[in-house]
Copies of this chain bind each other. A is one copy, B any other.
Amino acid sequence: MDETIEEGRESVAEGLVECVPNFSEGRRPEVIAAIRDAVAATQGVRILNVQSDADHNRFVLTYVVPESHAVDAGMAGARAAAALIDLREHEGAHPRMGALDVFPFVPLGDVPMARCVALAEELGARIATELDIPVYLYEEAARDPKRTNLEYVRKGGFEGLRETVPNDPARRPDFGPAAVHPSAGAVAVGARRALIAFNVYLGTADPSLARAIAKAIRHSSGGLRYVKGLGLEMPGTGTTQVSMNLTNFKATSMVTVMDLIRAEAARWGIPVLHSEVIGLVPMDALLDAAQAFLQLRDFSRDQVLERRLLLEE
């Protein structure tokens, strides 16, 4: 063929980000629906999931949005939450400091983390200016390294922060007033990698072997950098589980994790039975595994037919 005109991504200027805001409402379905609808009304938003918990009195909204509308969609949720939730009347088992409590941006596809950090900064500035709510930048967006840790940011919760924010310089927000909002509290806005909840089942009923393998692979005990893991009993099944969170699948891939688990299990003579993913998994994490299995070289993700449809309007 003489001439190939690749058109798939010519007109593509932007990628998609995933947003997983947590709101302090898990009991009033009409409030949950109103906040969800406010977000969904923003151009380009696609709601993937709404998960609420009455005990925690909290709900988690998962949606995807083009970069250019991500801040507007975030503002729509923050504004609705501030209008509909009063933390003075809120109780629940989960730690929280705001009506909109936590707002992470997660890069998808080729979107760089730096872009999500910039989105977090822009949304944080707007929440502070337009709603008069103090904002803390956390995780990858943190300016204060201690604020990388969300639990540090949220320490004391709504009630505690009412005391500490005005008085403790270490609690001064990144944007907005040095006092929590009377009803809406404070918000943590940040950027983080997609998490993958990945479990591998072993053909042994002995939990000490599952724990030994978990220990070998997880970061905290000397294993792979972006793996958290536990060995768990699976009573009555004759199996055990290595239960993991992969916190950066681009740096520590599912392939590397699986290779190491297989090697460790083989050393103990334990069969690797199967695995499972809980919830959602980014397509790139699975394409990495396909590429590894097939030994695909010189492969561009643009060769995946459906992937070329994702980034277009």
A residues bordering B, Cβ < 8 Å?
A: 1-8, 16, 18, 26, 46-55, 60, 64, 108-109, 194, 200, 254-255, 258, 272-277, 279-283, 286-299, 303-310, 312
Contacts and interface: CB of A to CB of B under 8 A. Distances in A.
Given A275-B295, A275-B296, A305 B108 contact: yes
Task: Describe A's contact surface by its main secondary structure.
Answer: mixed
Contacts of A48: 7-8, 305, 308
A255 B291 CA distance: 11
14 contacts: A1-B51, A1-B52, A5-B51, A7-B48, A8-B46, A16-B306, A18-B305, A255-B293, A274-B296, A283-B305, A290-B290, A292-B293, A306-B307, A309-B310
Contacts of A299: 276-277
A274 B291 CA distance: 10
A26 B47 CA distance: 44
A218 to B, nearest CB: 18
A36 to B, nearest CB: 9
Each complex incorporates copies of this chain amounting to 2
Contact of A49 (B4, B53, B306): B4
A303 B289 CA distance: 15
Given A16-B309, A49-B8, A52-B3, A303 B279 contact: yes
Residue in A200, A273, A274 with the greatest tally of chain B CB atoms within 10 Å: A274
A309 B18 CA distance: 12
Contacts of A277: 296, 299, 303
Contact of A290 (B46, B53, B293, B310): B293
